Amino acid sequence: MNSDHHHTSTWLLESQLEPYVDAFMLHLLDCRYASNTIDNYLAGLTHFAHWISRCNIDVKSIDEKLIQQFLDNHLPRCTCEKPAFYNAKDLHAALGHLLVLLRANAVITDPLVGLTPVDEELQRFDDHMNHVRGLAPSTRKINLCSIRRLLFGQFGDQVVVISAILPDHIRQFVASQSKLCKVSTSIGASISALRCYFRYRATLGDRVHQLIGVTNFPANWQQASLPKTLSNNEVQRLLDALVYDNTAALRTAAIVHCALDLGLRSSEVAYLGLDDIDWSAATITLRGTKGRREDVMPLPAATGQAIADYLKYERPPTSNRAVFVRNVAPRDQPVGPDLIRKSIRQAYARAGLPYTRSHLLRHTMASRLLAGGSSLKEVADVLRHRSLNTTLIYAKLDSRNLAAVALPWPGSAS
């Protein structure tokens, strides 16, 4: 045995982490990491084990703060003898897996939350948005970010006293947030969050009407612009670009068809499950929708074929019931909305199209429905809009019906 392997064995197997080495390895194997990645993570664990032994740190004291101390303070100044492992990225990942393992075995406790009064207030507000208002997770997250900035700026670590918030405080907060917005109308998200929060406080008996009164939305002509869509030629270029040789080609094709043929949002594509598709009835059930409803839609032949090709020829073996799963470790996990958006951006790039927004395919689908003779009500139903007003922006794309009601231009020949 050479000296490096001897040190590795001694550092790890004579440390407090020795009882968890086998479980650590099995955890990485279950996640189907590559062998060289497992070797790096094991080397990182060995270095960390050596450090906590030298510092006489009990394994029950391991948490995010201690790991950050190891990475920020020890690693840059490390004088540990060879074979100490120095790759910060792999160390951070390996020790993250260690935390998961130790918590799964009840060796250490879960991270503490709600340490400050503001944290507790935000948790109560989130529960209200979730269980009373029925808001989507993405909307709740945006609202919490804005209210967190307001309350921490106002109270810090002190008790939240709503009566201490004055209208001038809200004006100053909105002004400061406006400076961070690239587009003036973007402040509307913060305004909406403030109004939602103060209405919640009103249900608790707080007198906040004067605060609601100063949260005015900026002028925004909602129907001023035309929704951007792909032309028929651009749609064909996009579809043609889906035929290429790559490990994720069939997954990308299925994702694009879901967005273009069904008008699905990125999150709805990511949340699709194998049990949501009824192949015999040619229908698909959407469960992770923005409106938090279950919607059953017909499955177009092209979309079904693209999904079937991915499932049959490219989807990696996994026990996960999501349609779209990760190709790299940690495997057996569904993809997220970010990967859906990234796949669509890459498809645009391969087609030579100067676009980046995945929602563009949803707009395109609505435009194609109108061009095919569908009514606005039918488009609203397919897009699953709760209010027909949301669909009205597509009325300007309905050139067939607009031409029928257009009046002669004054002074022109009738």
> Which pLDDT does position 294 carry in this prediction?
81
Residue of 10, 43, 8, 11 lying closest to 25 (CA atoms): 43
The tokens of 62 are what?
A: 């391991």
The residue type at 153: G
DSSP 190-232: HHHHHHHHHHHHHHTT---HHHHHT-PPPP--TTSSPPP---H
What is the number of other CB atoms lying within 10 angstroms of the CB of residue 262? 21
Q: pTM to 2 decimals?
A: 0.65
Choices 1.10.287, 1.10.150, 3.30.450, 1.25.40: CATH for 117-213:
1.10.150
Residue of 203, 207, 210 lying closest to 169 (CA atoms): 210
3-state SS class at 85:
coil
> Which pLDDT does position 386 carry in this prediction?
64
Average pLDDT, the chain: 84
Residue pair 42/35 in contact (Cβ under 8 Å)? The answer is: no
DSSP at 18: G
Rounded CA-CA distance 280/266 in Å is 25
Which regions in the chain score pLDDT beneath 70?
1-9, 83, 112-114, 182-185, 219-227, 288-292, 375-376, 379, 385-414
> Which pLDDT does position 179 carry in this prediction?
81
Residue pair 79/36 in contact (Cβ under 8 Å)? The answer is: no
> Which pLDDT does position 147 carry in this prediction?
95
3-state SS class at 290:
coil
CA 5 remoteness from chain centre: 42
> Which pLDDT does position 411 carry in this prediction?
62
Query: Where along the chain do its domains lie?
Result: 3-104, 117-213, 232-401
- Residue 139 φ/ψ, nearest 5 degrees: -65, -40
Domain spanning 232-401 has what CATH number?
1.10.443.10
